[in-house]
A and B are shown apart, each in its own frame.
Chain A
Amino acid sequence: MADLSKNDEAVAAAVEAPVGRGEPILQVRNLKKHFPLTQGIVFKKQVGAVKAVDGVSFDLYQGETLGIVGESGCGKSTVAKLLMNLESATAGEVFYKGQDITKLSGRALKAVRRNIQMVFQDPYTSLNPRMTVGDIIGEPFDIHPEVAPKGDRRRKVQELLDVVGLNPEYINRYPHQFSGGQRQRIGIARGLALNPEIIICDEPVSALDVSVQAQVINLMGKLQDEFNLSYLFIAHDLSIGRHISDRVGVMYLGKMAEIGTDEQIYEHPTHPYTQALLSAVPVPDPEARAHRERIILTGDVPSPANPPSGCSFRTRCWKAQEKCSQETPLLAIPQRFDGLDTPAAHLSACHFAEEKQVVPVH
């Protein structure tokens, strides 16, 4: 998977295609979400926009996990909402099997929703406290009655509970009677109910204890193999991102900074932001810790309402030059690596992309 062959260049012109994965199931092209900033009470005047997501493109292939990592406020969750059509995109397209889903509504949108489901971040707020577990997991069948005949639903709900490792007898309990990890399993069962092809996971384990995180992550891995699911896995924890992902995209200020296989990103990062991010990961080995280089960024993340010109990372980058403020770097294979058979030859949005050895996380 890591060795990217030269033949893929045609596809890689937009976004790279991992070998042997066929057609992408989800294609995101130049997706934008700008939240307007208004002034005035009666006559609202738009004075600007928060560019939460500002031109993001990537592909998701059948059966793979694409991790999206980045710090708080970089637009990860907004991407998830846009893909779920919970927010309407300002510009750009999302193609599910060749069909642009951002403009769909009504019945067509409902049909697409069957195939794209979501697992939410906070298991304490994502389950209706006034519904039984049976009602929560059975609701997808009420909304899409064609999936399960009426008499069959209760059995299906119990099977789903069993699939996610919960006792099928819990069907009549309420969410508050479960622990955080169990609740997240209920959320996963709800996401699985319609037998979707894609599950968008918006930091599904960040609200859980570390020990429970591992259980839930492993469950998700198991389910992926079992049901041939494609995951878009949003995380701010780099180690979790690596553990579950086949490919990883790094986001900064509403833009994709770098995207590649987990080996390419974690061991051969070429974007300075990725390098800085990775250098902040705690290293458990004291020997290795002593030898690693910490890249300490100065300043804060600029406001997405007023992003810097050119490269959005240039205000905090140690490599920034005149060119960075004038030209926006495109997400492409850096010229110096183009055509070379090296793990560094992956998409990176930097004018001065180069490999830098940072201590890898495993």
Chain B
Amino acid sequence: MSTSNLVGELSARFGDAVLGEQTTRDSFPTVWIRPEVTIAVHRYLKDEIDRPFKMLVDLWAIDETARKHREGQPPSGITIASHLLSHDRNADIRIKTPLDAEYPRAKSIGTVFPNALWYEREAYDMFGVEFELQPHSNRILLPPGWEGHPMRKTQPGRATERPLFNMTAALFDAKEHALAADPEKFGLPTHRDGVELMILNYGPHSMATHGVFRIVLALDGEEIVAARPDIGFHHRGAEKMAERQTWHNFLPYTDRVDYLGGVMGEMPYLQAVEKACGITVPDRALTVRIMLSEMFRIMNHLLFYGTMAQDTGAMSPVFYMFTDRERGYRVIESITGARMHPGYFRIGGLSMDLPQGWDRLVREFLDWMPSRLDDYEGMVLRNEIFRARTKGVAAYDTAMAHEWGVTGPGLRATGQAWDVRKARPYAGFEHFDFEIPVGHNGDCYDRTCVRVEEIRQSLKIIRQCVDNMPSGPIKADHPLTTPPPRERMLHDIETMIHHFVGASWGPVLPAGETTGQVETVRGLTQFALISDGEPSSYRTRIRTPSFPHLQMISAVAPGMMVADLVAYLGSIDYVMSDVDR
């Protein structure tokens, strides 16, 4: 592994500030360091070594106070973990810092990685970790005025364990006033060159901001001087719920993290769980997983295509794309039983086999799509007004994309051909023949073109799935496959016991840490799981691609006009459930 001597290099450079390496089931090293050298270590990895780790993928906190199995790890109350990625090495590294449980204070790496700021705000919000670059009580996901830090182990996971909640009129007013678009609270300038700026609250109820999302803008006429995105309206506590649900029960929640990704959301979670269990998923199940994932990629990109055209004013193309999506959903429904949130995969494989005649349905869809895509190209991509609205708008280059943690089509539009399916193939993607579409200018137009071309590539992958679908079992023959294969369960008492325990108490994963990474529709989605030998997760960290994409808005938006902002928001292709979880 290109990181094999990295830990040695770190120890040589920082001496005993490097507390040691932790063994995990992952292929990248996890290194513990002292809090004092946090900034120095990150700067070293980002700027000083050769083929550096230029992107901060994720930063999160772990409450270690209730954990039983911590062999080989230094003592810690709350741990901060940061996950870095090097495209040049095609390798990752995870840095962990131990902090005090009662008063966790950490050094902010916001000066090294600009996109660390929102992650650190989330760590404060959920765990109470104070970072010195952040103003006190700068919550991000929970509403202002919330008391407590919910992800801590001392905080209950069910509403029934909390005191009764009464919304009085006074409380309602207080909450409403707390959400006012006060420029001071958002750090917005009120004057520029003696001209007073107009503060516009592009509120959670807006047609331009896809989903419940709010940007507070400081405008000089139509020009945006500063923009501050405000998220958290769609927060549902998925990570806390993972600690309450069993490993098996949590699967439908993963569908709903990105509500347009459908079954693709289950992939990174299952990748991590199956790695922890040591399950090898049979080929038929893997190929079906790929086929359905790519179907959902097409569904999402079609919706993106239509809404992108609609954001620039063309009201008709979205209806045509929705007709195509309807056809796609009929195929998905006949295979999985549900349309948007199938919950079709299981630990160890699939829940049921493909229905008879599935290949005819899929081929009909594959034959229907290409001519429709050609029509759309004439309607949208070659439309002069659309091009005028999107070319050169919100352009950023690869270096800026790395600074802000951009993955997925947003990164590929700047010219870097990095896709997890090719860089770290999973689920059998190494056997498929497809290309990674790449843009050049990193503007809205290129992001649109990259996604349109991805639709075509996904159609190609699905055709290969249909042509070469392997036969065989759809569930692995492994004790932790939940639920176990039905034929065995009905005949064999051991399997029956496993089924009973797995469905009621939950499958018990061996203690340890695993990570799953998948190229979902918006970019890199990563699940970092910590198991403590219990039937439910100790810590589930969901790294979603849209979170850093939205953080970038405050850097890209200044200088644009309001109409450009609408095109830019459309081209990011985020969904709020992916941002807030």
Question: Are A and B associated in one complex?
Answer: no
